[in-house]
Amino acid sequence: MDTIYPLTVYYDHSCPICRNEVFRLNQRDHANQMLLVDCSSAGFTPPAGAPAQEAMMQLIHAQTANGSWLVGVPVFQHMYRASGFGSFAGWLAKPKVMRIMTRIYPHIARHRYLIPGWATHVFINLLARKSVKRSQTCTKNQCSL
């Protein structure tokens, strides 16, 4: 199996929703499994063997610990897992969900500047509340859902 973490995430810091999502997830990454790189600056130079900056600006990219590249929804899956949202990451990994999200994400990415930055804050807070609620139902390695 591939070694994913640490995961180097190349994101668009000039995009409010991108910046907020990455910032909020990074706050919850207590094991420091994500390394964040702003690929939007004029001075950005992709590392050797990486996709071009133009490609990274179209869809989110990440490089795994073993050097493999991820693009789009799989990046989010691993970012959410690193941030303690394993249930959501698992949901994203389901084949039907992955297929649908892989089709939808390029459209979202293309229009991301129209989405308000606060939307990410609301979404991640909702996931955090669900996560806390789920953890409170578990005691002694047993959960009652």
- In this predicted model, what pLDDT tens digit does every residue of 69-100 receive, in sequence order? 999 999 999 999 999 999 999 999 999 999 99
Place of tokens 């909020």: 24
At 118 the pLDDT is 85
Which residues are 11's β-sheet partners? Answer: 38
pTM: 0.86
Give the tens place of pLDDT for each residue, 13-39: 999 999 999 998 999 999 999 999 999
In angstroms and rounded to an integer, the radius of gyration of the C-alpha atoms of the chain is 16
Mean pLDDT of 37-58: 96
* Beta partners for residue 39, in sequence order: none
State residue 63 phi and psi, 5-degree precision. Answer: -110, 130
DSSP code per residue over 96-129: HHHHHHHHHHHHHHHTGGGS-THHHHHHHHHHHH
pLDDT number for residue 1: 46
| Percent of the chain clearing pLDDT 90 (strictly above) | 76
Q: Which residue has the tokens 């999200």?
A: 101
pLDDT band at 122 (very low <50, low <70, confident <90, very high): confident
